[in-house]
Amino acid sequence: MKISELPYQQNSAKLFSLVADEPWSIFFDSGFPEIDMGRYDIIVSRPAVTLETYGNITHINDDSKKTTSSEDPFILLNHYLGEKNINFSGLPFCGGAVGYLAYDLGRRLEALPEMSEQDIKIPEMAVGIFDWSLIIDHHLRRIWLVSFCRFKKTKLIWHELKELFSSSKNIETKEYRITSDFKSNLSREQYGLAFNKVKQYIRDGDCYQVNLSQRFAAGFEGDSWSAYLKLRTVNPAPYSAYINLPTGAILSSSPERFLRVTDNQVETKPIKGTSHRSVFAYEDKALAVCLLESEKDRAENLMIVDLLRNDISKVCESGSVLVPKLFALETYATVHHLVSTITGRLAKNKNSIDLMRGCFPGGSITGAPKLRSMEIIEELEPHRRSIYCGSVFYLGFDGNMDSNICIRTLVNYNNQLYFNAGGGIVWDSNVDAEYKECFDKAAAILRLFVQEKFN
């Protein structure tokens, strides 16, 4: 293992700007210093291997040798991660797999109908195998360049990487602009019809809860990294990320952890229950208290806690799955959330990929039961979700993993900017309240880009 300490910089985005234009550059952004829980930021670029899955085929670029495979993407990922390394550094990520799993990768796990339109043609899985990473620890105010040195190329470029990330070079911010208004793919009337259909399915006993979303889209020109820089200032979040791919860019300001594995200890933190915020402190506090005491939101949260307890139990030791926090309040720029924490310990014959495969996509953004909810989502949402409700993740050569749920997440694809917002519908949901919740969750993004359009 190689470790080199570099000069500390508080602004990790400035460091990432040095490689932001390079395809397959990825930035994990903890939201420091705006987010109290923010500590580690992670930068990777120049992968040794890339895997991109479209439908039943995965395209593999391994040291300029291009092949394809129809193998299960999770099995391929396990293969290219190879043998497990022991991590003596104490740092969260020293190389491994980094990328995203789109919501629609769930089609490789479940037999779903094909009813919605697929117009965002980015991969369902886009993952690089990275042999080095830059780790920024904001609590200790230190930065390390670190690698397990699995590939010879890493040793050859080590000095170059040290010079690059030690430089004081300033990268000029490029321009971007929104070229049209954001439009939803569901009118208020269409949303109401879909809502009523969900209620009918609940009444008929098909399901208990369904996450129904609408998609917003607008024309976009310019630099998506510059747009992310603005997004991270107006809507900082602990599980944010930026991914630059040849096919498009992912801009995620997610407040929700999906799955974390540290030394075989598993944690998931589903969000269910949302309230808008107020600019008046007394009213904002009252809204938070109201959310904490809401029987509907607590019941909704509990359904997903039970679903996720069941999901992680499939790969965890018997009796190890616990719920240390139930209905905790977390507050962000535009909303309050109810967040629960579920933990477990991986069984001896299971690893992080088994966990991800067994839980994907996350139950907090499908509904209960999961498969029937996904079938209803496919029926009622006009377009496939793409990255929305998928996951951006890293999975180290040491077996440790962290991942988000891709909510508050945008895709820049083919000169269009897309993002979804939705919420869980249960029997006692109110259509006006649920429709408003979509816009509460979209508020920071809409406010940012509407403001940009008129500046």
Query: Quick check: 389 and 408 in contact, CB under 8 A?
Result: no
- CA distance between the termini of the chain: 49
By the 8 A CB rule, do 359 and 390 touch?
Answer: no
- Residue 133 gets the label, from left (phi > 0), alpha (psi -120 to 50) or beta, of beta
SS3 18: coil
Cα(78)–Cα(354) distance, integer angstroms: 9
56 phi and psi angles, rounded to 5 deg: -95, 5
Residue from 52, 124, 269, 272 carrying the catalytic annotation: 272
E strand map for 223-346: 239-245, 248-254, 257-262, 265-268, 271-276, 322-331, 335-345
d(CA 312, CA 123) in angstroms, rounded, equals 26
CA distance 74 to 58: 11
- Asked about 293 being catalytic, the answer comes back as no
Answer yes or no: are the C-beta atoms of 41 and 29 closer than 8 Å: yes
Which is catalytic among the residues 52, 256, 300, 434?
256
The partner residues of 304 in beta bridges, in order of sequence, read: none
Whether 272 is catalytic is yes
Longest Cα–Cα distance in the chain: 64
Give CA–CA dist 186/110, Å, rounded: 26
Q: Which residues are catalytic?
A: 256, 272
